[in-house]
Structure 1
């Protein structure tokens, strides 16, 4: 043992310092591996959701933070001059800020996982959950932005030159704030619109919207824009302030259930009662109808046709769309097969013996 100690002390200072740093990194890695081995062992037997989420999200950042912690503890033992020790301290301090900020960002993912585990969004009536997830998404992104901004500020303020420059800049902060505010007014408006959307919630995640002549679901809400997934899987990107300034339809604002309508245009000779009975028979034979609302009414009498409106309810907008298509197809087929004379037609009356030409008829 004494020979090993003597050999270590005879090493050059540079090599000895590297050996101490390497040993600290190895010890940190070993400690990190032992901690996560114990957590995985605990997960296999208990399977708590929070511990599993912590293990998943903090594996990488703690893989840097724990060895870095041991390196910072070993700096005082390095056989280097004071100026080199000071430089190493500054580098380690900056790395500590970066890795600690990384851990905080990952903790926001853990918090989001816990909320998603507590509230299931995949059920039919998920208004409360979508409201919560919309707020969670915006708050999480805002928290990550603040963490990154604060980390960058701490890193810059750790340098004396930057700190002195910041003191001088404070004297002109008013003018700079006005200039920046004018230059970034659209971005600031979007940020404020995002805060308003998150808490007043005219839209939420997974809401069904109709706007700009398009039909789709809210797929993502960022701090500056909203992604709408259209019915054919296209994506419509809109700025946040669009939903503050312009009107749009929200089919799931107060509930996921919706009334579906089908309009038929027939001749005046159509037997309305027979069509009504056929509608009830079709609805009774399909699982798309939620058995709340059904009916058929003559809603208009036009110059050449009657307007029939079939009304039925469904649990969601996607089911309502399928139900409308089914009812439209079945009712048209019923009229074609049973009352073909009730299909829309154009009547003409010829007076006298002369048969009009095609040009005169047209």
Structure 2
């Protein structure tokens, strides 16, 4: 059986719908005009400023503020129209927290970008790495908190979820134990990431040795960090393991380092000529920073001696290149000038036969 509807009620319903649509259209137009006027004024103010920070913030919040003004306009109109309020209010319970979270998220991203722009003006590489690490970790923490709170507010707009939340709050003791046990790894990673941002045992760009892997810290997240080795491999290291174990940080305070070059020579070798040539070569090299230069005999065995040639450079890359060039130069110089100093472990059968036969 079809329900009988009085045709005389149709015009009244259509009038309400038409009025609601016109009111929504007017609210959108007014909100958009207000948005354009506000950002035109703010745009002139930021144009008069020399700082790039206000421009980044203004450009990042344009879209969320525009839609927020439209949502506010529709909400104001819905206060005076029951038909529109009946449709808009259930939707607004999801839209309002989403827009607030969007604005907070864009503000965090804009602040992060502004701080990174300021870092480019700094000439101290250690300060840049320190601040970049803090910015990276804290911005990710803030983003995680914003997303978590926003999704929670949107879910609590659902009556079924709201009742479940009330039940969980009533049994908060057991719920806290269960959630704490289940989220222990995530909480440990979160706390570890915050601890790394505050104490800075390592930073983005530092050259470190972790679990036998040597490389630059390329990225630090809440649960892991990425280590880029010299052969372009990416080593993924959990954050918790970095804080629980010992590791080497070669650039904790500065990039300047001292590196060794080892030579294993015959015990009868004269050391002074080698020291003189080594110092001559290093003093004339452009990569040497003038801090450390020494040649010491660190070991003496029955069949060989060990010479440690210490040199220093301004950066890790310069030190590696200087060590390689010094090692190559000294081996070539010994081969030409002092060939008896090089250790030989091969049998010269033909020469031995000639000496035995007297030929």
Superposed CA deviations along residues 139-195 of structure 1, whole A, max 9, x for unmatched, are 222222222222223333345554343222223222222223223322222222223
Kept in 2, the 8 Å contact 1:219–1:228? The answer is yes
Q: Which residue of 2 aligns with 1:4?
A: none
**Cα pair distance change 1:10/1:47, threshold 3 Å:** farther
Kept in 2, the 8 Å contact 1:260–1:323? The answer is no
Q: Which residue of 2 aligns with 1:274?
A: 273
Q: Which residue of 2 aligns with 1:111?
A: 111
Distance 2:126 2:310 in 1: 24
Give, in angstroms, the shift of residue 97 of structure 1: 1.5
Distance 1:10 1:214 in 2: 73
Give, in angstroms, the shift of residue 203 of structure 1: 1.6
Kept in 1, the 8 Å contact 2:261–2:309? The answer is yes
Q: Which residue of 2 aligns with 1:66?
A: 69
> Cα RMSD over matched residues?
3.1
Q: Which residue of 2 aligns with 1:92?
A: 92
Match runs of 1:16-95 below 5 Å: 16-78=19-81, 80-81=82-83, 84-95=84-95
**Cα pair distance change 1:34/1:232, threshold 3 Å:** farther
Kept in 1, the 8 Å contact 2:122–2:128? The answer is no
Distance 1:316 1:100 in 2: 46
Distance 1:333 1:129 in 2: 41
Kept in 2, the 8 Å contact 1:28–1:67? The answer is yes
Unaligned runs of 5+ in 1: 1-8, 358-362
Give, in angstroms, the shift of residue 91 of structure 1: 1.6
**Cα pair distance change 1:293/1:154, threshold 3 Å:** same
Q: Which residue of 2 aligns with 1:325?
A: 324
SS at match of 2:218: strand
**Cα pair distance change 1:354/1:112, threshold 3 Å:** closer
Give, in angstroms, the shift of residue 40 of structure 1: 4.6
Give, in angstroms, the shift of residue 249 of structure 1: 1.3
**Cα pair distance change 1:171/1:39, threshold 3 Å:** closer
Q: Which residue of 2 aligns with 1:6?
A: none
**Cα pair distance change 1:267/1:60, threshold 3 Å:** farther
Establish whether residue 245 from structure 1 lines up as the match of residue 244 from structure 2.
yes
Give, in angstroms, the shift of residue 98 of structure 1: 0.8
Kept in 1, the 8 Å contact 2:312–2:319? The answer is yes
Q: Which residue of 1 aligns with 2:220?
A: 221
Stretch of structure 1 that moved more, 44-53 or 213-222: 44-53
Kept in 2, the 8 Å contact 1:190–1:241? The answer is yes
Give, in angstroms, the shift of residue 230 of structure 1: 1.5
**Cα pair distance change 1:326/1:15, threshold 3 Å:** farther
Distance 1:11 1:154 in 2: 35
Q: Which residue of 1 aligns with 2:9?
A: none
Distance 1:302 1:98 in 2: 74
How many residues in Structure 1 have an aligned counterpart in Structure 2? Answer: 343
**Cα pair distance change 1:115/1:10, threshold 3 Å:** same
TM-score relative to the length of structure 1: 0.83
Superposed CA deviations along residues 180-217 of structure 1, whole A, max 9, x for unmatched, are 32233222222222232222222222111112322111
Match runs of 1:151-166 below 5 Å: 151-166=150-165
Give, in angstroms, the shift of residue 24 of structure 1: 2.7
Unaligned runs of 5+ in 2: 1-11
Kept in 2, the 8 Å contact 1:257–1:317? The answer is yes
Establish whether residue 299 from structure 1 lines up as the match of residue 302 from structure 2.
no
**Cα pair distance change 1:199/1:347, threshold 3 Å:** same
Q: Which residue of 2 aligns with 1:101?
A: 101
